[in-house]
Structures are given as structure tokens and as C-alpha cells.
Amino acid sequence: MPGLSLLGNTATNYPDKYAPQVLETFPNKHPDNEYLVTFHCPEFTSLCPKTGQPDFAKIVISYIPRERMVESKSLKLYLFSFRNHGDFHEDCVNIIMKDLVALMDPRYLEVKGIFTPRGGIAIHPFANYADDEHRDMARSRMLASFPES
């Protein structure tokens, strides 16, 4: 496919610092359909910006594409680039969301981080984006992500 340099490339270079430039897209063959694409990334790691200790998470990314879609190998390398990146959990989730929105201009996109507890506290940040047509959906998804007490 034109424009995809990572897919099928056996000489993969793994980034050792935050690298949004590795993200690649391809044309959505069904832009007239609204459908959901979900990625489960169970091995996300980043670093605590204060202690340098590793943080581990499952990242779940769901989106309704418009014209462009993210290529999965580039997404894997992008998420891997957080391995030595020092940011709080909430920052990582918001950075991922903003980078993917800028890359694809989706109809709707959400990112949830399910971080492993450290120090007795688990943090599960959720961030989403919606175009004008999907604002109600974004609000209802945000409200639905609140844990029940």
C-alpha cells in the first residue's frame, strides 16, 4: 500500500523515546459506513515522571473512522515509544488521544488506560473526542465510564 513503510518491513526499528512520527494511516475503504474499530494493547509501559519507575497498563483505543485509519504496526511502535517516556497516566492517555485525532480526524475516538496498581492505587484515565455529530455519544460514553460506587 502506498504510504505505509512499516507493514511488512522486517527491519523494524523500535523507538527508544516518544515517537508520534511513526504513526501511519491508510484509506478507509468504507467511509460511508459508521463502524467501530477497537485495539486492545495489554502491554503498555511508561515511566513515572517523578520516580522513573515503570508503569504498566492495558490501553484500549476505540474509534469510528472517517477517511483515514491508523495502521496497526505503526500504532504498536508508537505505543512502544512510551516505554522510556516519563508522564503521568492521565497525560499518556490524553497524548495518545490527541495524537490519533490529529492523525486520522475520526468521527469519534476514545482511549482508556487500565493501569496496574502501584502504591495501592489503580488509575484508569479515560479521554474521548467527538465531531459535532457524535457529541452526545462522547458525553454518554464519558458518563458511562464512571465507576459504580
Q: What is the pLDDT of residues 9-47, one digit of tens each?
A: 566 788 889 999 999 999 999 999 999 999 999 999 999
pLDDT tens digits, 53-75: 999 999 999 999 999 999 999 99
For residue 114, the surrounding DSSP H or E stretch is strand 108-115
DSSP at 121: B
Half-sphere exposure in the Cβ direction for 99 (13 Å, CA): 22
DSSP at 82: T
79: pLDDT strictly greater than 90: yes
Query: What is the percent of the chain with per-residue pLDDT over 70, rounded to a whole number?
Result: 92
List the catalytic residue out of 16, 41, 48, 131: 48
For residues 4-43, b (16+ Cβ closer than 10 Å) or e, as one string? eebeeeeeeeebeebbeebbbbeebeeeeeeeeeebebee
| 106's grid cell | 475520526
Model pTM? 0.90
Annotated active-site residue 132? The verdict is: no
List the catalytic residue out of 16, 41, 55, 136: 55
114: pLDDT strictly greater than 80: yes
Predicted confidence at residue 35, as pLDDT, reads 98
* 6 band by pLDDT with thresholds 50, 70 and 90: low
Q: How far is it, in rounded angstroms, from Cα 71 to Cα 83?
A: 20
Average pLDDT over residues 137-147: 92
Predicted confidence at residue 148, as pLDDT, reads 75
Q: How far is it, in rounded angstroms, from Cα 137 to Cα 133?
A: 9
**Whether 106 contacts 129, CB under 8 Å:** yes
* 119 band by pLDDT with thresholds 50, 70 and 90: confident
Annotated active-site residue 55? The verdict is: yes
